[in-house]
Amino acid sequence: MNNKKNIVITGGNRGIGLGLVENLSSMNNVIFTSRDRVVAEEIVDKAKNRSIEINYVLMDVNDSQSIAKASEEVSQKFKSVDLLFNNAGILLNEYQLPALDTSEKSILDTFNTNTLGVLRVCKSIVPLMKNGGRIINISSGMGQLIEMESGSTAYRISKTALNTITKILSNELIDNNIKVNAICPGWVQTDMGGKNATLTVQESVQKITEFALRKNFPNGKFLRHGEVIPW
C-alpha cells in the first residue's frame, strides 16, 4: 500500500485501538470511532498539539442505526476507505467463571459486540471500499480451536465466531479485491489484558501496523505478529 491511506479504526479511544490511531495518524488519514464524545475530543485535541489531524465519529457497534450514521459521516470525509480495523470489543466480568456457570446474557452480550458488531460495521463500511481494500479483525488466540482452554467462555465463543466471519468475508469479498484477515495482537497491557501482560500497547501496535501496511498482504488468514497461526 502506497501513499496516505484512508483508515477507519473502531474502538479507537483506548487500548490497542488508541495505539493504532496514534501510530497511523501521522502518515495517513485516520478516522476512529468511539461511544464517548468527551474522550474522543480529548484524543483529537492531543493530536492537534502534535500538529496531527485526526477525525472521529460516534459509533456504537451494537446499534445498526448508529453505525449507518457514522458510516455516512465517514463517506463525507473519505472518498473511499482503504483499511478497516475492527477493533471494538468487550470482555465481561464473568470470564472467571466456568462454562456451566456463565450466564446466557454474558454470552449473548459479548457475541453481540465482538462478533455481530464486526459484521454490522462491515455491512456499512465495505460499500465505501471502492478501490479494493483491507479489513483486519482484531481477534484473539483465546478463540483458537486448536488450543482451546477453559474459562472466558463468552469471550472465547465470540472470537471463534469472529474468525468464522473472517473466513466467510475473505471468500465473499475477494471478487471486489478486498482482503480480510483476523489477527491475535498478543497478550497486551491494556484494561482487558491487564498489567501482567507480556507486550506493551506500542509493541503490539507496531507489529500490527507493519502487517497492515505491508505489500504482500494475505487473505483469509489468522495471524500473530505477521505470522500465520492455526485456527
Catalytic residues, by residue number, are: 155, 159
Distance, in Å, from the CA atom of 7 to the CA atom of 135, rounded to the nearest integer, reads 10
- In whole angstroms, how far apart are CA 54 and each of 28, 80, 143, 198? 9, 17, 32, 29
Q: Please report which residue ranges of 100-145 form alpha helices under DSSP H.
A: 104-111, 117-125
**Residue pointed to by grid coordinates 484512508:** 6
DSSP state at residue 132: B
Buried b (16+ CB within 10 A) or exposed e, 41-61: eebbeebeeeeeebbbbebbb
3-state secondary structure 28-82: CEEEEEECCHHHHHHHHHHHHHCCCCCEEEECCCCCHHHHHHHHHHHHHHCCCCC
Instruction: Tell me if 80 sits within 8 A of 6, measured CB to CB.
Output: yes
Instruction: Tell me if 38 sits within 8 A of 55, measured CB to CB.
Output: no
Distance, in Å, from the CA atom of 7 to the CA atom of 31, rounded to the nearest integer, reads 6
